[in-house]
A and B are shown apart, each in its own frame.
Chain A
């Protein structure tokens, strides 16, 4: 398994501001995924981040709102831009380890509340 650290773990943000979430993995991984979990809901994939290339976004998510960086094989950031109360969610970083089809592990999540 992989140890995945996310920062911040929790934050209260003002409407209209932006916040960057960091995800650090203790080993090199090819694929990193960013998920959003709105209150009382299941997880929805925001984007897939591959080192050395632009992130691939799911339908309904755009780069201007959720810019992602992936500078190396152990680190990624997700920025939530121009936040509104609807962005209040848990944001989870996850990685795939091992060969094809192997397990996806999650970080502790970043719980953002926008006021």
Chain B
């Protein structure tokens, strides 16, 4: 079974600085998808960024980018120019490329604090 590990329970960053959240995963599959979700105090899960395993290019969404190292099974999230609104729980998630009824497997999350 696939597992996702987020080794940083909490992280903090100064406003306007850059922070990197770590995520590693374990799988024997070659076709899969990786995601970062953000959960602010409102509790809604918001998609931040996604990465297809077959793509070598790292995904980028505005201030958010990933460092995807397939061989190392690592998928870190970099937040640039951090803003107060970035404060939230961040969850890394894995999904098999088989699609259909395949579920998301989540890490335990990293709580990000942004200091003014």
Q: Is B44 an interface residue (CB 8 A)?
A: yes
Q: For window 87-115 of chain A, which residues contact chain B by CB distance below 8 Å? A: 90, 92, 94, 96, 99-109, 111
State whether A100 touches B100 (Cβ < 8 A): yes
Number of A interface residues in the complex (CB < 8 A): 28
B11 to chain A, nearest CB (A): 16
Q: Which of A38-80 contact B (CB under 8 A)?
A: 41-43, 45, 48, 50, 56, 58
A residues in contact with B52, CB < 8 Å: 101
Q: Is the interface of B mostly helix, strand, loop or mixed?
A: loop
A interface residues, Cβ below 8 angstroms from B = 1, 30-31, 33, 41-43, 45, 48, 50, 56, 58, 90, 92, 94, 96, 99-109, 111
11 sampled A-B residue pairs with Cβ under 8 A: A31-B100, A42-B106, A43-B45, A43-B91, A50-B101, A94-B104, A100-B97, A100-B98, A103-B35, A106-B37, A108-B44
Chain B residues within 8 Å of A, Cβ to Cβ: 31, 33, 35, 37, 42-47, 50, 52, 91, 95, 97-101, 103-104, 106-109
